[in-house]
Structure 1
Amino acid sequence: MESHHFDRVTLLITHYNRSKSLEHLLAKCAEFGLSFQETIVSDDGSKPEHLEHVKQLQPNYGFRLVSTPVNKGLGNNINKGQDAVTTPYTLYVQEDFEPTANFAPNFTNAVRLMDEEKQWDLIRFYTFPWAPFPYLRDYKYGFSEMLYRPQVWFLNHLKFRIYSDHPHLRRSDFLHKFCRYREGERGDPTEYAMCLCFIKKGGKALMFKGPDLFLHEAGGIEPNTMVRSTWKLKQSVFVNSLRFVYLKGKVLNSSVKLMFTDVKDLK
Protein backbone atom coordinates (compact mmCIF):
# COMPACT_ATOMS: atom_id res chain seq x y z
CA MET A 1 0.00 0.00 0.00
CA GLU A 2 1.30 3.44 -0.99
CA SER A 3 2.04 5.73 1.96
CA HIS A 4 0.68 9.26 2.25
CA HIS A 5 2.28 11.52 4.86
CA PHE A 6 0.94 14.99 5.70
CA ASP A 7 3.60 16.77 7.71
CA ARG A 8 1.76 20.02 8.53
CA VAL A 9 -1.49 18.38 9.54
CA THR A 10 -2.67 17.06 12.90
CA LEU A 11 -5.33 14.37 12.90
CA LEU A 12 -7.62 15.33 15.79
CA ILE A 13 -10.02 12.59 16.89
CA THR A 14 -12.68 13.17 19.54
CA HIS A 15 -13.61 10.07 21.54
CA TYR A 16 -16.17 9.08 24.15
CA ASN A 17 -16.89 5.47 25.20
CA ARG A 18 -16.30 4.01 21.73
CA SER A 19 -12.79 2.62 21.94
CA LYS A 20 -13.45 -0.18 19.43
CA SER A 21 -14.65 2.40 16.91
CA LEU A 22 -11.52 4.45 17.57
CA GLU A 23 -9.38 1.38 17.00
CA HIS A 24 -11.22 0.72 13.73
CA LEU A 25 -10.59 4.30 12.54
CA LEU A 26 -6.89 4.15 13.39
CA ALA A 27 -6.55 0.76 11.70
CA LYS A 28 -8.19 2.10 8.54
CA CYS A 29 -5.79 5.05 8.46
CA ALA A 30 -2.89 2.60 8.74
CA GLU A 31 -4.39 0.33 6.09
CA PHE A 32 -4.54 3.21 3.60
CA GLY A 33 -1.03 4.40 4.48
CA LEU A 34 -2.20 7.67 6.05
CA SER A 35 0.10 9.41 8.50
CA PHE A 36 0.24 12.92 9.90
CA GLN A 37 2.71 15.13 11.73
CA GLU A 38 0.76 14.27 14.86
CA THR A 39 -2.37 12.40 15.87
CA ILE A 40 -4.27 13.59 18.95
CA VAL A 41 -7.10 11.70 20.62
CA SER A 42 -9.21 13.96 22.82
CA ASP A 43 -11.17 11.84 25.30
CA ASP A 44 -14.24 13.16 27.10
CA GLY A 45 -14.05 11.29 30.38
CA SER A 46 -14.77 7.81 29.02
CA LYS A 47 -15.54 4.85 31.29
CA PRO A 48 -12.41 3.19 32.72
CA GLU A 49 -12.65 0.15 30.45
CA HIS A 50 -12.74 2.34 27.32
CA LEU A 51 -9.99 4.66 28.52
CA GLU A 52 -7.79 1.66 29.33
CA HIS A 53 -8.34 0.27 25.83
CA VAL A 54 -7.44 3.66 24.33
CA LYS A 55 -4.18 3.65 26.30
CA GLN A 56 -3.42 0.13 25.04
CA LEU A 57 -3.71 1.43 21.47
CA GLN A 58 -1.07 4.14 21.97
CA PRO A 59 2.07 2.01 21.43
CA ASN A 60 0.77 0.74 18.09
CA TYR A 61 -0.58 4.01 16.71
CA GLY A 62 1.60 6.62 18.42
CA PHE A 63 -1.06 9.21 19.20
CA ARG A 64 -1.11 11.77 22.00
CA LEU A 65 -3.98 11.33 24.45
CA VAL A 66 -5.63 14.46 25.89
CA SER A 67 -8.10 13.46 28.58
CA THR A 68 -10.30 14.83 31.35
CA PRO A 69 -11.35 13.07 34.60
CA VAL A 70 -15.08 13.69 34.04
CA ASN A 71 -17.36 14.03 31.04
CA LYS A 72 -17.67 17.69 30.04
CA GLY A 73 -19.50 17.42 26.71
CA LEU A 74 -18.68 17.75 23.04
CA GLY A 75 -17.79 21.45 23.16
CA ASN A 76 -15.14 21.00 25.84
CA ASN A 77 -13.78 17.90 24.13
CA ILE A 78 -13.20 19.71 20.82
CA ASN A 79 -11.86 22.85 22.52
CA LYS A 80 -9.21 21.05 24.55
CA GLY A 81 -8.25 18.87 21.60
CA GLN A 82 -7.86 21.84 19.28
CA ASP A 83 -5.88 23.73 21.95
CA ALA A 84 -3.32 20.91 21.88
CA VAL A 85 -2.72 21.19 18.10
CA THR A 86 0.54 22.86 17.01
CA THR A 87 0.44 22.35 13.23
CA PRO A 88 -1.05 24.85 10.71
CA TYR A 89 -3.86 22.49 9.74
CA THR A 90 -6.23 20.17 11.59
CA LEU A 91 -8.08 17.19 10.15
CA TYR A 92 -11.00 16.78 12.55
CA VAL A 93 -12.71 13.37 12.72
CA GLN A 94 -15.04 11.85 15.29
CA GLU A 95 -14.21 8.29 16.28
CA ASP A 96 -17.15 6.65 14.47
CA PHE A 97 -15.97 7.62 10.97
CA GLU A 98 -13.41 5.96 8.70
CA PRO A 99 -11.63 7.17 5.54
CA THR A 100 -12.20 5.56 2.16
CA ALA A 101 -9.54 4.45 -0.30
CA ASN A 102 -10.16 7.67 -2.30
CA PHE A 103 -9.40 9.95 0.63
CA ALA A 104 -5.63 10.46 0.24
CA PRO A 105 -5.45 12.02 -3.27
CA ASN A 106 -8.42 14.29 -2.61
CA PHE A 107 -7.06 15.31 0.79
CA THR A 108 -3.80 16.23 -0.95
CA ASN A 109 -5.82 18.60 -3.14
CA ALA A 110 -7.60 20.01 -0.09
CA VAL A 111 -4.29 20.86 1.59
CA ARG A 112 -3.10 22.39 -1.67
CA LEU A 113 -6.18 24.63 -1.78
CA MET A 114 -5.58 25.72 1.81
CA ASP A 115 -1.93 26.50 0.98
CA GLU A 116 -2.59 28.41 -2.22
CA GLU A 117 -5.85 30.18 -1.39
CA LYS A 118 -6.06 31.80 2.05
CA GLN A 119 -9.79 32.47 1.70
CA TRP A 120 -10.80 28.93 2.69
CA ASP A 121 -11.38 28.28 6.38
CA LEU A 122 -12.78 24.76 6.19
CA ILE A 123 -13.03 21.91 3.66
CA ARG A 124 -15.57 19.15 4.29
CA PHE A 125 -15.41 15.50 3.21
CA TYR A 126 -18.77 14.08 4.28
CA THR A 127 -22.45 14.90 4.54
CA PHE A 128 -25.35 12.68 5.60
CA PRO A 129 -27.02 11.41 2.39
CA TRP A 130 -30.48 12.42 3.68
CA ALA A 131 -29.29 15.97 4.49
CA PRO A 132 -27.28 17.30 1.52
CA PHE A 133 -26.16 20.92 1.65
CA PRO A 134 -28.55 22.80 -0.67
CA TYR A 135 -26.51 25.62 -2.22
CA LEU A 136 -23.26 24.67 -3.92
CA ARG A 137 -21.17 26.23 -6.68
CA ASP A 138 -18.66 24.08 -8.57
CA TYR A 139 -15.08 25.07 -7.83
CA LYS A 140 -12.15 22.79 -8.74
CA TYR A 141 -10.42 19.49 -7.94
CA GLY A 142 -13.89 18.00 -7.36
CA PHE A 143 -14.79 20.51 -4.62
CA SER A 144 -17.70 22.94 -4.53
CA GLU A 145 -18.07 26.21 -2.65
CA MET A 146 -20.75 26.18 0.04
CA LEU A 147 -22.94 29.28 -0.32
CA TYR A 148 -25.00 30.88 2.41
CA ARG A 149 -28.20 32.40 1.02
CA PRO A 150 -29.37 34.97 3.61
CA GLN A 151 -32.62 35.90 1.87
CA VAL A 152 -35.61 34.55 3.81
CA TRP A 153 -37.14 33.01 0.69
CA PHE A 154 -34.30 30.49 0.70
CA LEU A 155 -36.16 28.33 3.21
CA ASN A 156 -34.07 25.17 3.21
CA HIS A 157 -33.11 24.78 6.88
CA LEU A 158 -29.83 23.09 5.92
CA LYS A 159 -28.45 26.35 4.52
CA PHE A 160 -26.98 27.18 7.95
CA ARG A 161 -24.99 23.94 8.06
CA ILE A 162 -21.89 25.21 6.30
CA TYR A 163 -19.90 24.22 9.36
CA SER A 164 -20.34 20.62 10.50
CA ASP A 165 -18.79 18.23 12.99
CA HIS A 166 -18.45 15.77 10.12
CA PRO A 167 -14.85 15.09 8.98
CA HIS A 168 -13.19 18.25 7.70
CA LEU A 169 -9.89 20.04 7.25
CA ARG A 170 -9.54 23.45 8.90
CA ARG A 171 -6.90 25.98 9.77
CA SER A 172 -5.71 25.42 13.31
CA ASP A 173 -6.47 29.02 14.34
CA PHE A 174 -10.15 28.19 13.80
CA LEU A 175 -11.16 28.87 17.42
CA HIS A 176 -9.46 32.26 17.37
CA LYS A 177 -10.96 33.40 14.08
CA PHE A 178 -14.49 32.25 14.85
CA CYS A 179 -15.38 31.27 18.41
CA ARG A 180 -14.80 28.52 20.91
CA TYR A 181 -17.36 25.75 21.08
CA ARG A 182 -20.09 26.23 23.66
CA GLU A 183 -19.54 24.03 26.67
CA GLY A 184 -22.00 22.37 29.01
CA GLU A 185 -24.64 21.77 26.32
CA ARG A 186 -25.79 18.81 24.27
CA GLY A 187 -23.98 18.03 21.04
CA ASP A 188 -26.60 19.28 18.57
CA PRO A 189 -26.96 22.80 20.07
CA THR A 190 -23.17 23.01 20.38
CA GLU A 191 -22.74 22.23 16.68
CA TYR A 192 -25.55 24.55 15.58
CA ALA A 193 -24.12 27.47 17.56
CA MET A 194 -20.83 26.98 15.69
CA CYS A 195 -22.73 26.91 12.38
CA LEU A 196 -24.20 30.34 13.11
CA CYS A 197 -20.89 31.70 14.40
CA PHE A 198 -19.12 30.51 11.24
CA ILE A 199 -21.60 32.37 9.03
CA LYS A 200 -21.66 35.48 11.25
CA LYS A 201 -17.85 35.76 11.05
CA GLY A 202 -17.84 35.36 7.26
CA GLY A 203 -16.43 31.84 7.12
CA LYS A 204 -15.80 30.30 3.70
CA ALA A 205 -15.93 26.57 3.08
CA LEU A 206 -15.64 23.95 0.38
CA MET A 207 -17.22 20.52 0.22
CA PHE A 208 -16.06 17.51 -1.75
CA LYS A 209 -18.78 16.92 -4.32
CA GLY A 210 -18.00 13.33 -5.29
CA PRO A 211 -18.70 10.21 -3.24
CA ASP A 212 -18.07 10.85 0.46
CA LEU A 213 -14.43 10.44 1.47
CA PHE A 214 -15.45 9.07 4.87
CA LEU A 215 -17.92 6.39 5.89
CA HIS A 216 -20.02 6.74 9.02
CA GLU A 217 -20.45 3.78 11.38
CA ALA A 218 -19.76 1.46 8.45
CA GLY A 219 -19.32 -1.53 10.71
CA GLY A 220 -21.93 -0.61 13.32
CA ILE A 221 -19.25 -1.40 15.89
CA GLU A 222 -20.64 0.36 18.96
CA PRO A 223 -23.88 2.20 19.82
CA ASN A 224 -24.07 5.93 19.24
CA THR A 225 -23.49 8.01 22.38
CA MET A 226 -25.53 10.94 21.01
CA VAL A 227 -29.13 10.94 22.30
CA ARG A 228 -31.67 12.94 20.31
CA SER A 229 -35.27 13.91 21.05
CA THR A 230 -37.60 11.02 20.19
CA TRP A 231 -40.03 13.24 18.27
CA LYS A 232 -37.30 14.01 15.72
CA LEU A 233 -37.01 10.30 14.93
CA LYS A 234 -40.69 9.37 14.57
CA GLN A 235 -42.27 8.96 11.14
CA SER A 236 -45.94 9.91 10.72
CA VAL A 237 -47.93 12.46 8.75
CA PHE A 238 -48.66 14.45 11.90
CA VAL A 239 -45.08 14.46 13.17
CA ASN A 240 -43.70 15.22 9.71
CA SER A 241 -46.08 18.18 9.43
CA LEU A 242 -44.97 19.49 12.81
CA ARG A 243 -41.34 19.01 11.84
CA PHE A 244 -41.88 20.93 8.58
CA VAL A 245 -43.42 23.91 10.41
CA TYR A 246 -40.75 23.78 13.11
CA LEU A 247 -37.89 23.80 10.59
CA LYS A 248 -39.30 26.70 8.57
CA GLY A 249 -39.73 28.65 11.79
CA LYS A 250 -36.15 27.81 12.70
CA VAL A 251 -34.95 29.24 9.38
CA LEU A 252 -36.64 32.56 10.12
CA ASN A 253 -35.45 32.57 13.73
CA SER A 254 -31.84 31.83 12.79
CA SER A 255 -31.90 34.42 10.00
CA VAL A 256 -32.97 37.10 12.46
CA LYS A 257 -30.30 36.01 14.96
CA LEU A 258 -27.57 36.32 12.35
CA MET A 259 -28.69 39.86 11.55
CA PHE A 260 -29.14 41.22 15.05
CA THR A 261 -27.29 39.02 17.58
CA ASP A 262 -23.67 39.29 18.72
CA VAL A 263 -21.50 36.23 18.11
CA LYS A 264 -21.18 35.51 21.84
CA ASP A 265 -24.97 35.24 22.15
CA LEU A 266 -25.59 33.00 19.13
CA LYS A 267 -27.22 29.70 20.07
Structure 2
Amino acid sequence: MKHNFTDTTLLITHYNRSGSLERLLATFADLNCQFHEIVVSDDGSRPEHLNYVISLKEKFTFNLVTTPVNRGLGDNINKGQEAVKSPYTLYVQEDFQPSAIFPAHFEDALEFMRADSSLDIVRFYAYFIYPNLKPFKKGFSEMVFSFWDMNHIKFYAYSDHPHLRRSSFLQKFGKYPVGINVDLTEYAMAISFLQKKGKGLFFNEFTKLFYQINSSAEPSTMERPNWRLSKNPFIQLARWGYLRYRWVKNSLDLVFRKPRAI
Protein backbone atom coordinates (compact mmCIF):
# COMPACT_ATOMS: atom_id res chain seq x y z
CA MET A 1 0.00 0.00 0.00
CA LYS A 2 1.33 3.40 -1.01
CA HIS A 3 1.21 6.32 1.37
CA ASN A 4 1.27 9.62 -0.51
CA PHE A 5 2.05 12.58 1.72
CA THR A 6 1.98 15.16 -1.05
CA ASP A 7 1.73 18.17 1.27
CA THR A 8 4.63 17.08 3.49
CA THR A 9 8.41 17.25 3.10
CA LEU A 10 10.63 14.79 4.92
CA LEU A 11 13.48 16.82 6.44
CA ILE A 12 16.49 14.79 7.62
CA THR A 13 19.48 16.32 9.38
CA HIS A 14 22.75 14.46 8.84
CA TYR A 15 26.28 14.56 10.19
CA ASN A 16 28.91 11.85 9.61
CA ARG A 17 26.41 8.98 9.67
CA SER A 18 25.82 8.16 6.02
CA GLY A 19 25.06 4.49 6.74
CA SER A 20 22.33 5.50 9.17
CA LEU A 21 20.95 7.93 6.60
CA GLU A 22 20.82 5.17 4.00
CA ARG A 23 18.95 2.90 6.41
CA LEU A 24 16.43 5.63 7.18
CA LEU A 25 15.79 6.42 3.51
CA ALA A 26 15.49 2.71 2.68
CA THR A 27 13.00 2.14 5.49
CA PHE A 28 10.72 4.93 4.31
CA ALA A 29 10.96 3.49 0.78
CA ASP A 30 10.13 -0.02 2.06
CA LEU A 31 7.09 1.44 3.85
CA ASN A 32 5.99 2.95 0.50
CA CYS A 33 6.02 6.48 1.93
CA GLN A 34 6.12 9.15 -0.76
CA PHE A 35 6.56 12.80 0.14
CA HIS A 36 6.32 16.11 -1.65
CA GLU A 37 10.12 16.09 -1.39
CA ILE A 38 12.92 14.76 0.79
CA VAL A 39 15.46 17.32 2.03
CA VAL A 40 18.73 16.08 3.53
CA SER A 41 20.58 18.84 5.38
CA ASP A 42 24.24 18.00 5.95
CA ASP A 43 26.29 19.76 8.62
CA GLY A 44 29.75 19.67 7.06
CA SER A 45 30.33 15.92 7.21
CA ARG A 46 33.73 14.41 6.53
CA PRO A 47 34.42 13.83 2.80
CA GLU A 48 33.92 10.06 2.97
CA HIS A 49 30.43 10.52 4.42
CA LEU A 50 29.43 13.45 2.24
CA ASN A 51 30.58 11.63 -0.90
CA TYR A 52 28.52 8.60 0.10
CA VAL A 53 25.48 10.81 0.73
CA ILE A 54 25.91 12.27 -2.76
CA SER A 55 26.07 8.75 -4.20
CA LEU A 56 22.78 7.90 -2.45
CA LYS A 57 21.00 10.39 -4.71
CA GLU A 58 21.31 7.78 -7.48
CA LYS A 59 19.15 5.41 -5.42
CA PHE A 60 16.93 7.83 -3.52
CA THR A 61 15.63 11.13 -4.83
CA PHE A 62 16.33 13.98 -2.44
CA ASN A 63 17.48 17.59 -2.26
CA LEU A 64 20.87 17.80 -0.55
CA VAL A 65 21.65 21.03 1.33
CA THR A 66 25.26 21.37 2.43
CA THR A 67 27.60 23.73 4.26
CA PRO A 68 31.41 23.95 3.93
CA VAL A 69 32.00 23.79 7.69
CA ASN A 70 30.23 22.24 10.68
CA ARG A 71 28.01 24.86 12.33
CA GLY A 72 25.96 22.73 14.71
CA LEU A 73 22.46 21.31 14.81
CA GLY A 74 20.74 24.69 14.97
CA ASP A 75 22.16 25.87 11.65
CA ASN A 76 21.59 22.44 10.13
CA ILE A 77 17.87 22.53 10.93
CA ASN A 78 17.55 26.19 9.89
CA LYS A 79 18.99 25.72 6.42
CA GLY A 80 17.12 22.47 5.93
CA GLN A 81 13.78 23.99 6.95
CA GLU A 82 14.36 26.98 4.68
CA ALA A 83 14.65 24.57 1.74
CA VAL A 84 11.19 23.09 2.42
CA LYS A 85 8.44 24.21 0.01
CA SER A 86 5.44 22.19 1.27
CA PRO A 87 2.95 23.22 4.00
CA TYR A 88 4.11 20.53 6.46
CA THR A 89 7.45 19.09 7.53
CA LEU A 90 8.24 15.69 9.01
CA TYR A 91 11.53 16.23 10.85
CA VAL A 92 13.73 13.21 11.59
CA GLN A 93 17.41 12.98 12.55
CA GLU A 94 19.38 10.38 10.62
CA ASP A 95 19.77 7.91 13.48
CA PHE A 96 16.05 7.13 13.72
CA GLN A 97 14.02 4.53 11.89
CA PRO A 98 10.21 4.45 11.46
CA SER A 99 8.29 1.33 12.43
CA ALA A 100 5.80 -0.54 10.26
CA ILE A 101 2.84 1.13 12.00
CA PHE A 102 4.16 4.65 11.49
CA PRO A 103 2.40 5.54 8.17
CA ALA A 104 -1.13 4.94 9.48
CA HIS A 105 -0.56 7.09 12.58
CA PHE A 106 1.19 9.73 10.51
CA GLU A 107 -1.93 9.97 8.34
CA ASP A 108 -3.90 10.70 11.52
CA ALA A 109 -1.42 13.37 12.58
CA LEU A 110 -1.69 15.09 9.22
CA GLU A 111 -5.47 15.05 9.45
CA PHE A 112 -5.28 16.75 12.85
CA MET A 113 -2.88 19.37 11.52
CA ARG A 114 -5.00 20.12 8.46
CA ALA A 115 -8.17 20.41 10.53
CA ASP A 116 -6.79 22.65 13.30
CA SER A 117 -4.80 25.70 12.22
CA SER A 118 -3.76 26.36 15.85
CA LEU A 119 -1.85 23.08 16.04
CA ASP A 120 1.92 23.61 15.66
CA ILE A 121 3.50 20.21 16.25
CA VAL A 122 2.72 16.51 16.60
CA ARG A 123 5.40 14.50 18.41
CA PHE A 124 6.10 10.83 17.67
CA TYR A 125 9.03 9.92 19.93
CA ALA A 126 10.49 10.84 23.31
CA TYR A 127 12.75 9.48 26.03
CA PHE A 128 10.08 10.28 28.63
CA ILE A 129 6.34 10.81 28.42
CA TYR A 130 5.21 14.43 28.55
CA PRO A 131 3.97 14.94 32.15
CA ASN A 132 0.62 16.63 31.46
CA LEU A 133 -1.47 15.06 28.74
CA LYS A 134 -5.13 15.62 27.86
CA PRO A 135 -6.62 12.71 25.87
CA PHE A 136 -7.31 13.73 22.28
CA LYS A 137 -8.14 10.88 19.89
CA LYS A 138 -6.69 8.01 17.86
CA GLY A 139 -3.91 7.40 20.38
CA PHE A 140 -2.79 11.02 20.66
CA SER A 141 -3.03 13.46 23.56
CA GLU A 142 -2.70 17.22 23.80
CA MET A 143 0.30 18.52 25.74
CA VAL A 144 -0.84 20.89 28.49
CA PHE A 145 1.73 23.11 30.19
CA SER A 146 1.19 23.52 33.93
CA PHE A 147 3.38 26.22 35.46
CA TRP A 148 3.35 24.83 39.01
CA ASP A 149 4.05 21.24 38.07
CA MET A 150 7.54 20.47 39.48
CA ASN A 151 8.44 18.07 36.64
CA HIS A 152 11.17 19.78 34.58
CA ILE A 153 10.24 17.71 31.50
CA LYS A 154 7.14 19.90 31.12
CA PHE A 155 9.38 22.60 29.60
CA TYR A 156 10.06 20.34 26.63
CA ALA A 157 6.73 20.48 24.86
CA TYR A 158 9.01 20.96 21.88
CA SER A 159 11.73 18.36 21.26
CA ASP A 160 14.21 17.63 18.45
CA HIS A 161 12.97 14.04 18.29
CA PRO A 162 10.86 12.99 15.26
CA HIS A 163 7.82 15.20 14.82
CA LEU A 164 5.43 16.74 12.33
CA ARG A 165 5.22 20.51 12.20
CA ARG A 166 4.04 23.34 10.02
CA SER A 167 6.72 24.50 7.61
CA SER A 168 6.13 28.03 8.91
CA PHE A 169 7.53 26.88 12.27
CA LEU A 170 10.56 29.18 12.12
CA GLN A 171 8.39 32.18 11.30
CA LYS A 172 6.36 31.66 14.48
CA PHE A 173 9.01 30.49 16.94
CA GLY A 174 12.20 31.94 15.51
CA LYS A 175 15.28 30.29 14.06
CA TYR A 176 17.35 27.87 16.09
CA PRO A 177 20.34 29.51 17.79
CA VAL A 178 23.68 28.75 16.15
CA GLY A 179 27.07 28.01 17.67
CA ILE A 180 25.95 26.58 21.01
CA ASN A 181 25.65 23.11 22.57
CA VAL A 182 23.03 20.78 21.05
CA ASP A 183 21.10 20.53 24.32
CA LEU A 184 21.05 24.32 24.70
CA THR A 185 19.84 24.65 21.11
CA GLU A 186 16.89 22.36 21.85
CA TYR A 187 16.21 24.11 25.16
CA ALA A 188 16.14 27.56 23.55
CA MET A 189 13.52 26.38 21.04
CA ALA A 190 11.53 24.67 23.80
CA ILE A 191 11.35 27.93 25.77
CA SER A 192 10.40 29.87 22.64
CA PHE A 193 7.67 27.30 21.94
CA LEU A 194 6.13 27.92 25.37
CA GLN A 195 6.59 31.69 25.31
CA LYS A 196 4.76 31.92 21.99
CA LYS A 197 1.93 29.65 23.11
CA GLY A 198 2.81 26.67 20.96
CA LYS A 199 0.20 23.93 20.77
CA GLY A 200 1.08 20.29 20.23
CA LEU A 201 0.01 16.67 20.35
CA PHE A 202 1.95 13.71 21.74
CA PHE A 203 1.62 10.09 20.61
CA ASN A 204 0.75 8.08 23.71
CA GLU A 205 2.74 4.96 22.79
CA PHE A 206 5.77 7.08 21.99
CA THR A 207 8.26 4.21 21.73
CA LYS A 208 6.40 2.40 18.95
CA LEU A 209 6.56 4.72 15.93
CA PHE A 210 10.31 5.33 15.75
CA TYR A 211 13.42 3.53 16.96
CA GLN A 212 16.71 5.26 17.64
CA ILE A 213 19.57 3.11 16.37
CA ASN A 214 23.19 3.66 17.36
CA SER A 215 25.49 1.05 15.91
CA SER A 216 29.14 0.45 16.82
CA ALA A 217 30.07 1.52 13.28
CA GLU A 218 28.18 4.81 13.62
CA PRO A 219 27.71 5.55 17.33
CA SER A 220 25.79 8.51 18.64
CA THR A 221 27.59 11.84 18.40
CA MET A 222 26.01 12.78 21.74
CA GLU A 223 27.33 11.44 25.04
CA ARG A 224 25.16 11.96 28.12
CA PRO A 225 25.87 10.68 31.64
CA ASN A 226 23.44 8.01 32.78
CA TRP A 227 23.54 9.12 36.43
CA ARG A 228 19.75 9.33 36.61
CA LEU A 229 19.71 5.50 36.87
CA SER A 230 22.17 5.33 39.75
CA LYS A 231 20.95 3.82 43.05
CA ASN A 232 23.62 5.62 45.04
CA PRO A 233 21.73 7.70 47.68
CA PHE A 234 24.19 10.60 47.41
CA ILE A 235 23.80 10.72 43.63
CA GLN A 236 20.01 10.50 43.99
CA LEU A 237 20.04 13.40 46.46
CA ALA A 238 22.27 15.44 44.17
CA ARG A 239 19.95 14.71 41.26
CA TRP A 240 16.90 15.77 43.30
CA GLY A 241 18.59 19.07 44.12
CA TYR A 242 19.68 19.60 40.53
CA LEU A 243 16.19 19.00 39.17
CA ARG A 244 14.71 21.49 41.64
CA TYR A 245 17.33 24.01 40.49
CA ARG A 246 16.41 23.26 36.88
CA TRP A 247 12.72 23.87 37.63
CA VAL A 248 13.48 27.29 39.12
CA LYS A 249 15.94 28.25 36.37
CA ASN A 250 13.64 27.15 33.55
CA SER A 251 10.68 28.95 35.12
CA LEU A 252 12.69 32.17 35.33
CA ASP A 253 13.84 31.76 31.74
CA LEU A 254 10.25 31.26 30.62
CA VAL A 255 9.05 34.40 32.40
CA PHE A 256 11.98 36.76 31.98
CA ARG A 257 14.03 35.60 28.99
CA LYS A 258 13.56 37.96 26.06
CA PRO A 259 11.77 36.14 23.25
CA ARG A 260 14.09 35.45 20.33
CA ALA A 261 13.68 37.48 17.17
CA ILE A 262 11.89 35.90 14.24
| TM-score category of the 2 structures, normalised to the smaller one | over 0.9
Distance 1:135 1:96 in 2: 28
1:243 aligns with 2:208: no
Please give the alpha-carbon distance, in whole angstroms, between the structure 2 residues aligned to 1:181 and 1:243: 29
**Quick one: distance in 2 between partners of 1:36 and 1:127?**
24
> Which amino acid is 2:247 matched to?
V
Aligned to 1:185: 180
- Specify the code of the residue in structure 2 equivalent to 1:90: T
The residue type paired with residue 223 of structure 1 is P
| 1:169, distance to aligned residue in structure 2 (A) | 0.3
CA contact under 8 A between 2:130 and 2:202: conserved in structure 1? Answer: no
TM-score, length of structure 2 as denominator length: 0.94
Q: What are structure 1's unaligned runs of at least 5 residues?
A: none
Measure the CA separation in 1 of the matches of 2:212 and 2:107.
21
Amino acid at match of 1:113: F
Aligned counterparts, 1:54-65, within 5 A: 54-65=53-64
Q: Is the 8 A contact 2:11 2:40 kept in 1?
A: yes
Aligned pairs (5 A) from 1:110-189: 110-128=109-127, 131-151=128-148, 154-189=149-184
The whole-number CA distance in structure 2 between the counterparts of 1:234 and 1:135 is 23
Supply the RMSD in Å over aligned alpha carbons.
1.6
Aligned partner (choices 192, 206, 229) of residue 201 of structure 2? 206
Q: CA deviation at 1:61?
A: 0.7
Question: 1:34-68 CA distances to partner (integer Å, 9 max, x unpaired)?
Answer: 11010000000000000011011111110110000
Give 1:15's aligned amino acid: H
Q: How many Å apart are 1:156 and its aligned residue? A: 0.6
**How far is the alpha carbon of 1:218 from its aligned partner?**
6.7
Q: Distance in 2 between matches of 1:40 and 1:78?
A: 11
- Counterparts of 1:12 and 1:194, CA distance in 2: 17
Runs of 4+ displaced beyond 6 Å? none
Match of 2:39 in 1: 40
User: Could you tell me which residue of structure 2 aligns to residue 109 of structure 1?
Assistant: 108
SS where residue 57 of structure 2 aligns? helix
1:5-20 equivalences in 2 (<5 Å): 5-20=4-19
* TM-score, normalised with respect to structure 1: 0.93
1:89 counterpart residue number: 88
**Structure 2 portions without partners, runs of 5+:** none
1:165-206 deviations in Å (ceiling 9; x for gaps): 000000000001011101001110100111111000000000
How far does the alpha carbon of each residue in 1:61-113 deviate from its partner, in whole angstroms, 9 at most, with x for none?
Answer: 10110000110000000000001101000000000001111111111111111
